[in-house]
Amino acid sequence: MFRSAFSMIELVFVIVILGIMAAVAVPKFASIQDEALISNEKQTITVARQGIATLYGKRLVRGSEFNITLTDDTGAEYSSKVYFSSKYYPVTLDVKSATGSTDNNVTSTGRGTKLALALVVEPESLADWNSSCSSQLCSYTGPASNVITDGNAEISLKNGDYWEYNNDTGKILLQ
């Protein structure tokens, strides 16, 4: 007799096989978003380290504090005076808009109280970062360290980790 359809038992076997394949594949792909966030956060810190080294070098060459121009996400430019620690690493800045108003925390450009990180990271990249600062140390938590929940040993950044910037040594380290 000629059949033109699958039997019920054949369909059940196909569904079971698809279920097993899904059970194997889903955990492999579950950490992809976490890994992307971690990669983005590490790239931001790399940019910050390079920027801090650049400002440190400029301070050594110039011999005094100096102004830089910051551009926010709307294209508005701000003349900013950079302040340095006694060992010439950047600490903070004063920002004046084109109209001359001062914004010491750079809140109008989305940098909030990010202080030294605000000197070297674009406002769009900085929006997801949190910070707290004492006199010499600033702690930053980024998009990955704020949300990573996967306990997978392959992931190098865990929820609750933070980046610490020490303006006395100029280093940003994962804590």
pLDDT mean over 85-97:
73
H-helix or E-strand spanning residue 38: helix 32-62
Whether the pLDDT of residue 14 is over 60: the answer is yes
| pLDDT of 13 above 50 | yes
Residue spans per domain, the chain: 34-174
pLDDT digits (tens, 9 = 90+) for 100-124: 555 444 444 445 556 667 667 766 6
Of 156 and 118, the one with more pLDDT: 156
> 20 versus 124: which is more confidently predicted?
20
pTM greater than 0.85: no
Q: What is the pLDDT of residues 32-52, one digit of tens each?
A: 777 888 888 888 888 888 988
What is the phi/psi pair of residue 72, to 5°?
Answer: -85, 180
Contact between 79 and 111 under an 8 Å Cβ cutoff? The reply is no
- Whether 55 has a pLDDT exceeding 60, the answer reads yes
**Cβ distance 72 to 123 under 8 Å?**
yes
Region 119-134 average pLDDT:
74
CA dist 131 and 119 (Å) reads 14
Which one has a higher pLDDT value, 98 or 152?
A: 152
Contacts 24+ apart (CB under 8 A), 156-162: 156/38, 157/38, 157/41, 157/42
The residue that leads in pLDDT, 18 or 106, is 18
User: Is the model's pLDDT at 29 over the cut of 70?
Assistant: yes
Instruction: For residue 163, give Cα distances in angstroms to 13, 41, 42, 130, 147.
Output: 51, 10, 10, 10, 15
pLDDT computed for residue 18 by the predictor: 93
Q: What share of the chain is helix, strand, coil (3-state, %, to 5)?
A: 40, 20, 35
